[in-house]
């Protein structure tokens, strides 16, 4: 699908009990846009999504995987953002799997979203 992006993740900060991963901006106009974060054995995960120049509403969900290839939806881990510039977060206690993927599920008319992932424990 034209315009789809897959985020590139970089480790911004890490200690024994916390890690912060950041991603490049994702195209908010494509339901094929996604980014995967390694969560290993984290006990808490927070994914924050920051919007820039959005038109329309962008919805997204979190999915989990044990192998980084096959992903399943995480029940209740959905959100959306509809402002031209703003942010929203999804918090997970005891997240399943070793990987967490943010997948755009409903695209807006224009703009980008930039996800970050903060892990607590298990690093």
pLDDT digits (tens, 9 = 90+) for 85-112: 788 999 998 889 999 999 988 887 888 8
pTM: 0.83
* 64: CATH: 2.60.120.1110
pLDDT at 73 over 50: yes
The answer to whether position 40 is within a domain reads yes
Expressed as residue numbers, the domain containing 13 is 9-120
Give me the pLDDT at residue 1, please.
Answer: 34
The answer to whether position 95 is within a domain reads yes
The answer to whether position 4 is within a domain reads no
| Count of domains for the chain | 1
| Mean pLDDT, the chain, integer | 84
Instruction: Give the chain's end-to-end CA distance (angstroms, integer).
Output: 35
Query: pLDDT, tens digit, for every residue of 15-69?
Result: 657 888 888 888 888 888 899 998 887 888 999 998 888 888 889 999 999 999 9
Q: Which two tokens stand for residue 39?
A: 């969560």
């Amino acid at each position: 699908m034209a315009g789809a992006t897959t985020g590139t993740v970089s480790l911004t900060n890490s200690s024994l009990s916390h890690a912060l991963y950041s991603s490049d901006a994702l195209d908010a106009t494509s339901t094929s846009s996604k980014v995967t974060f390694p969560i290993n054995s984290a006990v808490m995960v927070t994914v924050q999504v920051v919007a820039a120049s959005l038109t329309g509403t962008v919805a997204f969900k979190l999915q989990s995987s044990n192998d980084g290839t096959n992903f399943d939806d995480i029940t209740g881990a959905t959100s959306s953002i509809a402002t031209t510039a703003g942010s929203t977060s999804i918090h997970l206690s005891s997240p399943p799997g070793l990987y967490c993927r943010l997948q755009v599920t409903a695209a807006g008319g224009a703009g980008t979203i930039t996800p970050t992932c903060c892990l607590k424990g298990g690093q």
